[in-house]
Amino acid sequence: MNHEIDISKHGPLGAPMAEAIRSCVHCGFCLPACPTYGELGRESDSPRGRIVLMKEVLEGTMELEAALPHIDACLGCLACEPACPSGVSYRDLISPFRAMAAREREVGWGEKLRRRMVLETLPYPERFRAGARMAGWVKPMADLLPKALRPMLELLPAVLPKRVRLEGFYAAQGEKRGRVALLAGCAQQVLDPDINVATIEVLTRNGVEVVVPQGQGCCGALSWHVGDHESAKGFARRNLGAFPDDVDAVLTNAAGCGSGIHEYPLILRGTEDEEGARKFEAKVCDVSVYLAKLGEMVEFPEGGVERVVAYHDACHLSNGQGVRKEPRHLLKAVPGLRLVEVRDAHLCCGSAGTYNIDQPEIAGSLGEQKARAVLATGATVVASGNIGCLTQLQMHLQRLGSEVRVRHTVQVLRDAYMGGEGAVSGGGD
């Protein structure tokens, strides 16, 4: 008996899910690219296997609860997409399926509490900062807490960086070459606010005017990737209304945020905001892409910076947005900097939004492997383009007793302009 997916049953997201499933020819090219297949060695924990499971659930031949352990174990790293010869858009399936599952699954009180804590805290910088401070007080007693809450504490730094209050406008230095709007992010403003400072300093130094819309909020990627579709739509609509039209581009400096915004047309599919989402996401690009397109950068000081830098590809930058060469191009432009590659660069570090909280064992294994791969390069600095990756790398490098510095690509560029290690600027408390 042939079964088909009832697209109408799943609303506007039914068609993209069905198309992704139809596109898969089950060739298996995705298997060696998938980190969880490498970790677990099970077909059901590969992209091909998960597509089959989701297909059977959507067709009504499998119970949702039977498939969920394998769907939950997916990083959403999208390494399967560039590996796929058929062009399967896995992102059009995994997040919509999780949104459907979130409405139907049964969740225990402990899991429900943990998820709610994450979704009501991380996307809101002030709440997250307050929560992180309280968590710092109880961190010494982590062994007394429920096991599900411990991974969140481990990821937090011992001391939170000083708060940086961003102005709404930063003038270009010298000849004006462009005008952009910057997405400030949410968790990043708490965990490493200097990334935004460095972004603004590098842009303005290179003649780019920067607007930081005060009405902006979380990009919504965090909610979207765990299946909270309604919250994701709310965040998306807020940003559509907050960002000005009179800019050359809307810049992101967190890979997860950039990739999430590029999914706004899918998140808002079938709503009156869908067309606006398409226009908005067309203007969005990573800061490394914008700087690379800008052309020759302002020269760095004489003498340059003598250091070896390893570059780590953030999954939602390399796989989600196809951005690989631009950050490397920028880093290679720094005099004295030697760029080295990390082995198995395509493999996720295990951060993946809230994955290192939701699946700490797999995330921990991937994080340690990535940290050891960084150490094998002999680099003194590892650079990347996503706050989640930077946090994960920092934690696992510290566990290995390493003193390798973890920096965002723009921080490395800013540090080179300053001729040293760089410093946080801007107002604080």
Q: What is the domain-level CATH number for residue 220?
A: 1.20.1050
Residue 131: the pLDDT is 79
Residue-wise pLDDT for 224-280, tens only, equals 998 999 999 999 999 999 999 999 999 999 999 999 999 999 999 999 999 999 999
pLDDT over 80 at 428, yes or no: no
Average pLDDT rounded to a whole number, residues 299-323: 89
> Is 61:3 a contact under the CB 8 Å cutoff?
yes
In a domain, 139, yes or no: yes
Residue 391: the pLDDT is 93
In a domain, 162, yes or no: no
Lowest-confidence range among 15-19, 339-343, 359-363, 425-429?
A: 425-429
In this structure, are 200 and 236 located in the same domain? yes
Residue-wise pLDDT for 320-355, tens only, equals 999 999 999 999 999 999 999 999 998 999 998 888
User: To the nearest whole percent, how much of the chain has pLDDT over 90?
Assistant: 75
**Cβ partners under 8 Å of residue 91, min gap 6:** 76, 78, 81, 263, 266, 320
User: To the nearest whole percent, how much of the chain has pLDDT over 70?
Assistant: 90
H/E element holding 329? helix 325-332
Q: Which sign does the torsion angle of CA 32, 33, 34, 40 carry?
A: positive
Residue 307: the pLDDT is 86
Average pLDDT rounded to a whole number, residues 107-133: 80
Residue 108: the pLDDT is 72
Task: Compute the radius of gyration of the chain from its Cα atoms.
Answer: 21
In a domain, 223, yes or no: yes
Distance in angstroms (rounded) separating the CA atoms of residues 24 and 87: 8
More confident residue, 93 or 122: 93
Residue 423: the pLDDT is 41
CA distances 389 to 11, 269, 287, 349, 406, Å, are: 34, 29, 17, 7, 10
In a domain, 183, yes or no: yes
Confidence band of 424 (pLDDT split at 50, 70, 90): very low
Q: What is the DSSP string of 307-340?
A: EEEEE---HHHHTTS---HHHHHHHHTSTTEEEE
pLDDT over 80 at 178, yes or no: yes
Residue-wise pLDDT for 389-421, tens only, equals 999 999 999 999 999 999 999 999 999 998 865
In this structure, are 180 and 284 located in the same domain? yes
In a domain, 60, yes or no: yes
pLDDT over 50 at 141, yes or no: yes
Q: What is the DSSP string of 371-426?
A: HHHHHHTT-SEEEES-HHHHHHHHHHHHHTT---EEEEHHHHHHHHHHTSS----S
Distance in angstroms (rounded) separating the CA atoms of residues 376 and 379: 8
Domain total in the chain: 4
Q: What is the DSSP letter of 170?
A: E
Residue 144: the pLDDT is 55
pLDDT over 60 at 362, yes or no: yes
Residue 151: the pLDDT is 65
Confidence band of 45 (pLDDT split at 50, 70, 90): very high
More confident residue, 125 or 326: 326
Distance in angstroms (rounded) separating the CA atoms of residues 225 and 119: 11
Distance in angstroms (rounded) separating the CA atoms of residues 253 and 255: 6
**Does the model's pTM come out above 0.85?**
yes
In this structure, are 311 and 408 located in the same domain? yes
Average pLDDT rounded to a whole number, residues 109-119: 76
In a domain, 220, yes or no: yes
Lowest-confidence range among 91-95, 149-153, 303-307?
A: 149-153
In this structure, are 193 and 271 located in the same domain? yes
Lowest-confidence range among 41-50, 144-153, 171-180?
A: 144-153
3-state secondary structure of 64: helix
For 304, the domain range is: 299-418
More confident residue, 17 or 7: 17
Strands 381-384 and 337-341: unpaired
In this structure, are 175 and 289 located in the same domain? yes
Listed in order, strand segments (DSSP E) in 221-260 are: 249-252
Distance in angstroms (rounded) separating the CA atoms of residues 424 and 126: 19
Listed in order, strand segments (DSSP E) in 126-189 are: 169-170, 178-182
In this structure, are 274 and 378 located in the same domain? no
In a domain, 429, yes or no: no
In this structure, are 288 and 175 located in the same domain? yes
Residue 44: the pLDDT is 96
In this structure, are 81 and 63 located in the same domain? yes
Total residues belonging to the chain:
429
Residue 426: the pLDDT is 35
Mean pLDDT for the chain overall: 90
In this structure, are 28 and 142 located in the same domain? no
Query: Among 252, 275, 293, where does a domain finish?
Result: 293
Residue 237: the pLDDT is 97
**Cβ partners under 8 Å of residue 249, min gap 6:** 178, 180, 181, 283, 284, 285, 290
The CATH code of the domain that includes 350 is 3.40.50.11810
In this structure, are 350 and 243 located in the same domain? no
List the structure tokens of 115.
């998820």
In a domain, 426, yes or no: no
Query: Among 86, 104, 122, where does a domain finish?
Result: 104
Confidence band of 379 (pLDDT split at 50, 70, 90): very high
The CATH code of the domain that includes 31 is 1.10.1060.10
Query: Among 269, 293, 317, where does a domain finish?
Result: 293
pLDDT over 60 at 429, yes or no: no
In this structure, are 377 and 286 located in the same domain? no
In this structure, are 229 and 120 located in the same domain? no
Confidence band of 174 (pLDDT split at 50, 70, 90): very high
